[in-house]
A and B are shown apart, each in its own frame.
Chain A
Amino acid sequence: MGGRMIKRDGRGRGLTLLEVMVAIATGAVIFAIAMGVLLTTNQTANQAMGHEALLQEAQVAMKEIRSVLEKAVWPEDMAATAVAGANVVFLKNGLALFSSHQPTTTGRICRYEFLNMKGVPGKEDTQTTTAGYQQIVPGGAGKPEFRPFSREFASTVEFRYATQVGADLQPVWLEGLPSGQKPQLIWVDLVMRDLSRRDRRGRVEEVRLTTAISL
Chain B
Amino acid sequence: MGRKHGHPQPQRRGFSLIEVLIALVVVVFALYGVLDLVAANQQISLRARRRAVATELARAKMAEIRTAGFGAVTALWDKATSGPSQSFIYPSDPAEFKAPYRAGPFRWQARYSRNPRQPDAINVEVRVLWYPTTKGAPEEVLANSVSVGELLVKK
Contact = CB atoms under 8 A, between A and B. Distances in A.
B98 interface: yes
Contacts, number: 105
Contact of A168 (B49, B61, B76): B76
Interface in A1-36: 3, 5, 11-13, 19, 26, 30, 33-34
B67 A162 contact: yes
A11 B7 CA distance: 11
B31 A33 contact: yes
A51 to B, nearest CB: 6
A210 B103 CA distance: 8
Nearest to A4: B4
B53 A189 contact: no
A151 B42 CA distance: 26
Contact of A48 (B24, B27, B42, B52): B42
A5 B68 contact: no
A34 B33 CA distance: 12
A204 interface: no
Interface string B20-62: 1000100110010011001001100100110011001101110
A131 to B, nearest CB: 16
B interface residue count range (under 10 / 10 to 19 / 20 to 34 / 35 or more) = 35 or more
Contacts of A162: 67
B60 A184 contact: no
B75 interface: yes
B10 A59 contact: no
B45 A187 contact: no
Chain B, interface SS category: helix
B52 A189 contact: no
A212 B103 CA distance: 13
Interface in A188-215: 189, 207-214
B100 A173 contact: yes
A211 B63 contact: yes
Contact of A211 (B31, B60, B72, B98): B60
7 contacts: A12-B12, A44-B38, A44-B41, A169-B73, A212-B60, A212-B61, A212-B64
Given A59-B52, A165-B67, 16 more contacts: A11-B10, A44-B42, A51-B45, A52-B45, A55-B49, A158-B100, A167-B72, A169-B65, A169-B73, A187-B60, A187-B100, A210-B56, A210-B102, A210-B103, A212-B61, A213-B63
